[in-house]
Amino acid sequence: MRNLLFLILIYPALLVGQQNYTLSGSVTDAATGEDLIGVTIFDLESSSGSITNSYGFYSLSLPAGWYNIQYSYMGYTTAKHAIELSKNQSFNIELTPSQIALDAVTISAERRDKNITSAEMGVEKLNLRQIAIIPVLFGEKDVLKTIQLLPGISSSGEGSTGFNVRGGSMDQNLILLDEAPLYSASHLLGFFSVFNADALKGVTVYKGGIPAYYGGRASSVLDITMNNGNKKNFNITGGVGLISTRLTVEGPIIKDKMSFIVSGRRTYADIVAKAAFSDDVVPNDLSLYFYDLNAKLNYSINDKNRVFLSGYFGSDVFGFSDQIGTDWGNTTGTIRWNHLFNKKLFSNTSVLFSRYNYGFNAGQDGISIRLTSGIENLTVKEDFTWFLNPNNTIKFGGSSTFHTFKPGELESEGELDFDIILREKSAYESAVYLQNEQKISTRFSANYGLRLSMFNQVQIDSGLIYEYGDDNLPSDFTFYEAGEIIQTYLGFEPRFSLNYILGDKSSLKVSYNRMAQYLQLLSNSTSGNPTDVWLPSSNNIKPLYVHQVAAGYFRNFLDNNIETSAEVYYKRIQNVADYEDGANIFLNEFVEATILNGLGRSYGLELYVKKNYGDFSGWISYTLSRTENKIEGINDFNWYPVKYDKTHDISIVASYQLFPRISLSAVWVYATGNAVTFPSGKYVIDGLQIPYYTERNGYRMPHYHRIDASINIKGKKRKRFESNWDFSVYNAYNRHNAYLIDFRESETVPGATEAVKLSLFGIVPSISYNFKF
């Protein structure tokens, strides 16, 4: 009886002991007030944990009791917070940047074995300070050039910021800037990316194991977030380099509540050329420049609501007054609202706008022509994160995008009287998703989810929609009213990745994703041009569907200072597109008729060794891969390598902190040449020698390799003013890597033919001066 009474008395206490409470809040930078993404929050004893989301918010549910919670993040001093959890609590914390980590690129851990314990695979989160130390062309720090040094990611060509991920073409990469998609991520014919590193907070690349949250592209996601703006102090950051100058201004409007950031960059190749050469060599009315402008405003209304407004404006301009010129550029706009329903349920509502347009004009004596093309879209999306418990974080939501495609317009004025206007196209692309990050046991964790997508080709103005015959001309047509749906495609996209921890230092991971892609880029080159045109799936062009499986072994050494991994992957692509021989893709109303669909496959091995900490750091990455297509009507229906297929791709990155204020860096890259179509013979027609081609992409460009090096010297820090000089050299041993190889009749030997290699860059030194106050 006494025992029964005891049980009755302590039963409520037992119930209290079982009750879970939620600790939630935000983690920010103590110096700037910026949200910190991916901060690890965990209980030291139970190892239950959480991480901050894209807005710095975290939520961790634990049974009532006393806890020692640790907050740790790369480059910041780890903080600990003792707490008695007896009710739901909010706890916001500011982490202090670690001075040691700032001076050396060695990084103190968020969680030093995250690559072992996380279920994520095929993901790289870049440290912006790592980007800053890597020497690149003209000294311009470049996000896209840096990710091309990672395994599985390769450059599309010399001077190009187009990139290929695990055998995917350039248009299979979803590039997001504050959630808005960017359709062209390069300036100056691919020499620079559109990303001004001064304005960026984080860069994450997904090569595989892509969560259900993302969709719309078949191969990868490059998710880039902008800084919000310093909420505590005004800062000015800038730099002057050989080819461009940049300036960033940020600061609080209402301290700790509202802040802004404006960041701009402009090149001045035309100013340099005009100053260096006389008027008859370089005309005074020459324009040759590009610019980027990033702007953002963020406002914390209260503890539960925040709004963000951000935009990007960038353009390239080349021309001579109004006689002849070309311009192209991106515009994005993002409005977002974060709302906290309760300690466990976080939502983000976004309205996104994105536009890419290209223009060319020429004119004289009252006659002018103007060629334009572009793509535009408006997206509404809603995303929820439900921190169910320490072992389950559920995300769900949906989005809808309205696309408008302008394939091309050629308009004339004056004596010329012709216009060619390719019909605009439009489409809706929608999706819903559900995913869970689950810690199944101490050894097993998983990310899994499902994305359902739908694509509707919609008639803009009433008119005819064609189908095509073998002669590439319309063979049938149907009349559609404005707003009528012409074609619908559906995508069933399961995703999962599993992690099994073998021991303290190693794990095995596998992943699978199915991706649907409803847009594709018409491109006539390997590296991309401003004239490339985005086209939607239609009654004639089927969507791309990709299955990708991957497996990997991850092992750390020397207390997680050395990370190693070996991953293999295999991709199968349905409806891969290529163009029939002789396809005219310029201002062709019937261009859909020239597209052939077939199968593609890509497989490879990625090896990675990375040293994270110490005066000497860096990594080595090696990729062995093959990517090929099989399309009826091309290459006699045999498998053939795609243009960007590279058998071997090696990157070695090294950084050494020589003295507290002097660091050295070097990068060596090597890659098999791209697959190309060269002539296997020649013949004579009308007295002219004509090259004769056999297999498509049956040859290789010469191997590509170069070394870049830089030295960074920091100035003495005076109060708030910091500065550094960066001296770098691109292609230090002056190798003339082939940009293209042309075959032509010899200029010196009559009747002979020759191969001529064009190289873009030999050795290119550069200097830049950077400051911050």
Partner 1 sequence: MKTKYILLTFAIIFTLSSCEEVIEIDLNSSHPILVVEARLYKDSLATVLLTKTVNYFSLETPEVIENATITITADDNVSEELLYLGSGLYSGETMRGIEGVHYEIEILWEEEEYNGSAFLPKQTEIISLEIVEFQPAPQAPLFKNAEITFLDNPETEDFYMIRYVLNGLPLAASYFAFSDMTFSDTIQLANPQLSFETGDLVGVQVFSIDEPMSVFYSQLSQALGGGMAMSSTPYNPTSNIKGAMGYFAAWSYVMDTVVVP
| Backbone phi and psi for residue 537, each to the nearest 5 degrees, phi listed first | -60, 155
d(CA 240, CA 230): 22
CB-based contacts of 8, cutoff 8 Å, min separation 6: none
Residue from 77, 89, 677, 723 that binds partner 1 (CB under 8 A)?
677
CB-based contacts of 588, cutoff 8 Å, min separation 6: 422, 594
Q: Which is nearer to partner 1, 45 or 279 (CB)?
A: 279
Q: Which is nearer to partner 1, 254 or 763 (CB)?
A: 763
Question: Does 469 interact with partner 1 (rule: CB under 8 A)?
Answer: no
Q: Which stretch binds partner 1 (CB under 8 A): 208-216, 511-519, 687-695, 709-717?
A: 687-695
Q: How far is the CB of 687 from partner 1 (least distance, A)?
A: 6
Quick one: how far is CA 181 from the chain centroid? 10
Q: Which is nearer to partner 1, 546 or 760 (CB)?
A: 760
Q: How far is the CB of 285 from partner 1 (least distance, A)?
A: 7
Contact at 8 Å (CB) between 47 and 117?
A: no
Q: How far is the CB of 448 from partner 1 (least distance, A)?
A: 39
Any idea which residue has 């095929």 for tokens?
A: 122
Binding residues among 178-237 for partner 1 as defined by CB under 8 A: none
Residue 294: name the closest of 199, 178, 224, 179 by CA: 199
Binding residues among 579-638 for partner 1 as defined by CB under 8 A: 579, 581-586
Residue from 492, 637, 693, 721 that binds partner 1 (CB under 8 A)?
693
Question: Would you list the DSSP string of 648-674?
Answer: EEEEEEEEEEEETTEEEEEEEEEEPPP
Binding residues among 124-163 for partner 1 as defined by CB under 8 A: none
Q: How far is the CB of 741 from partner 1 (least distance, A)?
A: 7
Question: Does 488 interact with partner 1 (rule: CB under 8 A)?
Answer: no
Per DSSP (E only), the strands in 414-483 are 420-421, 425-439, 444-458, 463-468, 474-480
Q: Which stretch binds partner 1 (CB under 8 A): 174-182, 227-235, 541-549, 690-698?
A: 690-698
Residue 6 DSSP symbol: H
Strand pairing report for 392-413 and 420-421: antiparallel
Q: Which is nearer to partner 1, 318 or 569 (CB)?
A: 318
Residue 594 DSSP symbol: G
Residue from 192, 219, 764, 768 that binds partner 1 (CB under 8 A)?
764
Q: Tell me, what amino acid is at 120?
A: E
d(CA 305, CA 347): 10
Q: Tell me, what amino acid is at 239?
A: G
d(CA 546, CA 524): 23
Question: Does 680 interact with partner 1 (rule: CB under 8 A)?
Answer: yes
Torsion of the alpha carbons at 45, 46, 47 and 48, rounded to the nearest 10: -140
Structure token pair of residue 187: 């300036």
Question: Does 108 interact with partner 1 (rule: CB under 8 A)?
Answer: no
Per DSSP (E only), the strands in 585-615 are 595-611
Q: Which stretch binds partner 1 (CB under 8 A): 56-64, 422-430, 707-715, 753-761?
A: 753-761
Q: Residue 207: how many CA atoms within 13 Å on its side-chain side?
A: 29
Q: How far is the CB of 284 from partner 1 (least distance, A)?
A: 10
Q: Which stretch binds partner 1 (CB under 8 A): 90-98, 319-327, 452-460, 649-657?
A: 319-327
Strand pairing report for 562-579 and 544-557: antiparallel
Q: How far is CA 17 from CA 3, 60, 66, 562, in A?
A: 20, 17, 11, 41
Question: Does 320 interact with partner 1 (rule: CB under 8 A)?
Answer: yes
Q: Which is nearer to partner 1, 90 or 759 (CB)?
A: 759
Question: Does 687 interact with partner 1 (rule: CB under 8 A)?
Answer: yes
Binding residues among 234-253 for partner 1 as defined by CB under 8 A: 242
Question: Does 691 interact with partner 1 (rule: CB under 8 A)?
Answer: yes
Q: Which is nearer to partner 1, 21 or 678 (CB)?
A: 678
Q: How far is the CB of 643 from partner 1 (least distance, A)?
A: 8
Residue from 368, 761, 768, 770 that binds partner 1 (CB under 8 A)?
761
Question: Does 751 interact with partner 1 (rule: CB under 8 A)?
Answer: yes
Q: How far is the CB of 678 from partner 1 (least distance, A)?
A: 6
| Backbone phi and psi for residue 114, each to the nearest 5 degrees, phi listed first | -60, -30
Q: Which stretch binds partner 1 (CB under 8 A): 94-102, 197-205, 267-275, 547-555?
A: 267-275
Q: Which is nearer to partner 1, 572 or 736 (CB)?
A: 736
Residue from 3, 4, 280, 719 that binds partner 1 (CB under 8 A)?
280
Q: Which is nearer to partner 1, 363 or 398 (CB)?
A: 363
Q: How many Å is the Cα radius of gyration of the chain?
A: 28
Neighbouring CB atoms inside 10 A of 442's CB total: 9
Q: How far is the CB of 43 from partner 1 (least distance, A)?
A: 57
Binding mask 695-724 for partner 1 (x = CB under 8 A): -xxxx--x----------------------
Q: How many residues bind partner 1 (CB under 8 A)?
A: 71
